[in-house]
Amino acid sequence: MPAEAIILPAGRVAGVDEAGRGPLAGPVIAAAVILDPARPLSGLRDSKQLSAQRRETLYGEIVAAALGWAIGRAEVEEIDRINILQATLLAMQRAVAGLQPAAEYAVIDGNRCPVLPIPARAIVRGDSRVAAISAASILAKVARDREMVELDRRYPGYGLAQHKGYPSKAHIAALEALGPTPQHRRSFAPVRRIAGLTGAGV
């Protein structure tokens, strides 16, 4: 059965998505994008379905053509303090708040909306069903991947530029050998376990 058609209201509609809920390290980053109906973009889809090179190309096109876009984030300390779900919603709030011009309505990828000062709707698999959410997915993913490359320079030996903080076998092995960095999420079970075993990462 085909997916239900998504009918959006008129006006400035922001698509909102995040990157980085699952990794063991680094911030969670959200993006909000208001597309310009007069400047349609081709090739928008869920960022996970695109190559890194294609995401980078589309990032530039989205930034150039959108009516408005903004990045929001929640840091590792916030993730550990309020949990990853609440930190994700906080990052989304910050992204929407950063939009200029302001959005009049928001569509959020997933099944839960952050508290916003405008009407909002959560759309499951929205990153593959709504162009503005696809655009936000791409901006969030590229922004976070770039940050993980920078963290890899600051904390060599963990492979952060390759696995982007996700719990790969290589990442777990590096954690066990080196201990967690300040950018590792202590509230996540593998990091908590390894930190307890090694006493490292202060």
Q: What was the pLDDT predicted at 4?
A: 62
Report the amino acid identity of residue 51: S
The answer for 151, left when phi > 0, alpha when psi is -120 to 50, beta otherwise, is alpha
Same domain, 93 and 163: no
For residue 167, being part of any structural domain is answered with yes
Same domain, 113 and 171: no
Same domain, 104 and 18: yes
Pair type for strands 105-109 and 13-19: parallel
Same domain, 17 and 105: yes
Q: Can you give the pLDDT of all 202 residues of the chain as single tens digits?
A: 245 678 888 899 999 999 999 999 999 999 999 999 999 998 888 788 889 999 999 999 999 999 999 999 999 999 999 999 999 999 999 999 999 999 999 999 999 999 999 999 999 999 999 999 999 999 999 999 999 999 999 999 999 999 999 999 999 999 999 999 999 999 999 999 999 865 444 3
For residue 3, being part of any structural domain is answered with no
> How many structural domains is the chain composed of?
2
As a whole number of angstroms, the distance between CA 191 and CA 172 comes to: 9
Domain that holds residue 189: 154-195
For residue 110, being part of any structural domain is answered with yes
For residue 43, being part of any structural domain is answered with yes
DSSP state of 69: E
Q: What was the pLDDT predicted at 3?
A: 53
For residue 8, being part of any structural domain is answered with no
